[in-house]
Structures are given as structure tokens and as C-alpha cells.
Amino acid sequence: MSKFLSKPAYYRPGIGGSLLILLILFLLGSVFSVVAAFIAAAINGELSQLAQADPVGLSSILTGRLSLVYFAQMIIPVIFIWLVGNANSHNPLCAPVKVDAPHIGKFNWLTLGILLMLMTLGLSWALDPATSNFPMPENFKDMFESIATRPVDTIVSVAIMAPLFEEFIMRGTIERGLLSKGSAAVAILWSALLFGAMHMNLWQAIPAFVLGCLFGWVYYRSHSIWAVIFMHFVNNFSSIMLFWAFPDMDPDASSRENMVQLTGTDMWYWVLVGTGALIVVVGIILLHKYLPKNPQSFKPKEILLADTSNKNSTANPQ
């Protein structure tokens, strides 16, 4: 994996480059994903449903192959990033910035992982009052209904592929590129904004933006792509487990309404919301205290050399 990531380390996109990556994802990636699904359906002899332009048949072909469709869409921008990075690696003036260069301060991986897991779950609970005002998209209702019939396909696409691909693109490429050029706040907010926009619906976009801010800040302070992949996995896998544990939960109802249906009161809903917010606040305080406060690992080597020479010239005037 480290060998594969060595080439993208040479690609440090700015604002324009990040928009190009998203455009490739939406246009080329979407086309390739549909083509891949149709090829798979043709091999299995399932195209008869489309003989009379049946939209239900089209939907079933796509939703019945979540892993294939998702992989086909996301691999296109990943290939683009790798190719540009590979081309840049031949330029002696292009300094790389590693995708993964972890520095976790006074934490060890176990304590950091537990804290990040609790913070991710806590933030998803705390955000629920805001996101419950928007309806769940129909394709997500279909996806959650498929958990019972296609659990492996759902878990692979939502809990494994999504964290790997999306964090590599959003934090490991876009945010890293902006961090190497300037403001950490701009890098974190811009990558989080694109992360929300790529989901293309308000039900996901709002929590994705806020979660993206947290993921981006953790990536900036730890420079660990695996830390944010883990957080993304926790968020997505917990959603799958929730629907798996409560298959009778009404997807058209809000979490608060489902909690009232389950417990007979909304008190526990607000306890979860408040507890989640408290966990996030405490977690941010702990991370801020014990992770490196001014990480230098996102600066390309030529900037570090320039900084060093400037300090030496100041300390030792000729």
C-alpha cells in the first residue's frame, strides 16, 4: 500500500485541481459505473427487464450490484490521481507530500482508536436533530432494505469501499494538496464542503460536511489516513448495524419518532443527542491537547529547506 501511495504523494491539487477530480468522479466515473453494471447484467442474462425501458429494471440492475457500481465509479478518479502523481514524480522540482505519515503524539493506536470511534458515533447522534428534517432518499431506502437480502454486498460497498476511496480522495489527496500550499482551515473546510457535495442530497450532505470537518481536522493533526478511514468506517458500519438490528424501523420516520416507537418516550433520544455532543467536545479537547499542535509533515521538502535556511541566515548573519 505504501508503494502505491508513493505516486499520488507527488500530486498536490489546489482548488482547481480538486474541482477537476470531482468532475471526473461525477462524469466519467458515473458513466463507467453504469457501463460496468450493464456488462455484468448482460453476462448474467438480466437485460430482458430493460427491453421495454423498464425503470424498475434499471434500478434493480444498479442497486443489485452496489459494490461493482461503486468500485467502477470511484476507481476512475483514483486512476487519474495516480497517473498525475506518477507523471509529476519524474519532475525533479516536484516535491512529494506523503499521503500517510502518522504522528499521534502521546496517544497509542488503541486509545486513539477508541476515542475516534466514540467521537464519530457521538457526532452522528448530535447531528440527528438537524438531519432528521430532510427525507431519506429513495435509493438509500432500497439500500437499507437490501441489507437483509444482500448483506455482504452492502457491507463491502458502504463500510469498506466508501471509507477507503472517499478518504483517499477527499483527505488523502484534496486536503493534503491544500495543506501543502497554505491555510489548514481552508484545506479542512474546502475538502469537507466537497465531501458533502459529492453525496448530492441534503440528508447526507449536512452530516457529511460536519463529519468531514472532524475527519479533516484529525487528518491534519495526525497525518494518518488510516485514522480517518477508521472513523469513516465506524460511521457507515454503525448505520448498517442499526438497520440490521431494527429491521422494522420506519425509514420514512425520523430517528426521534422511531425512538419514541421503540421506547415510548423521546427522553432517550435527547439523552443520546446530548451525550453525543458531550463526547465530541471532550474528544476534541483531548486530541487538541495530546496531538502535535503545529504539524510540519504537510510542508513539501523545498519549503522545509527554505524555512531552515532562513532560520540559519537569521541566527548567523554574515
Question: Each residue's pLDDT tens digit in the chain (318 positions)?
Answer: 667 778 999 999 999 999 999 999 999 998 998 888 778 777 766 555 554 444 444 555 555 578 888 999 999 999 999 999 999 999 988 999 999 999 999 999 999 999 999 999 999 999 988 887 777 777 666 666 666 677 888 889 999 999 999 999 999 999 999 999 989 999 999 999 999 999 888 888 899 999 999 999 999 999 999 999 999 999 999 988 887 777 677 666 677 777 777 777 788 889 999 999 999 999 999 999 999 988 889 998 765 555 544 544 444 444
The pLDDT assigned to 265 comes to: 79
d(CA 38, CA 40): 5
Alpha-carbon distance 112 to 104, whole Å? 8
Alpha-carbon distances, residue 318 vs 57, 109, 241, 309, 314 (angstroms): 78, 47, 66, 13, 9
Give the C-alpha separation, 170 to 216, whole Å. Answer: 9
Q: Judge contact between 174 and 18, C-beta under 8 A.
A: yes
Report pLDDT for 115. 98
Q: Where are the alpha helices (DSSP H) in the chain?
A: 2-5, 15-24, 30-43, 55-63, 66-88, 109-131, 138-145, 151-154, 162-169, 176-179, 184-197, 202-222, 225-245, 255-263, 267-290, 301-315
pLDDT value of position 64? 59
- Please give the pLDDT value at position 56: 46
Q: Give me the half-sphere count of Cα atoms (radius 13 Å) on the Cβ side of residue 76.
A: 22
Q: Please, what's the b/e burial string for 85-115 (b: 16 or more CB within 10 A of its CB; e: otherwise)?
A: beebbeeeebbbbbbbeeebeebeeeebbeb
The x, y and z cell numbers of residue 88, run together, are 509529476
Given a contact cutoff of 8 angstroms between Cβ atoms, the answer to whether 230 and 104 are in contact is: no
Q: What is the pTM of this model?
A: 0.87
Q: Which amino acid is at 178?
A: L
CA distance 87 to 89: 5
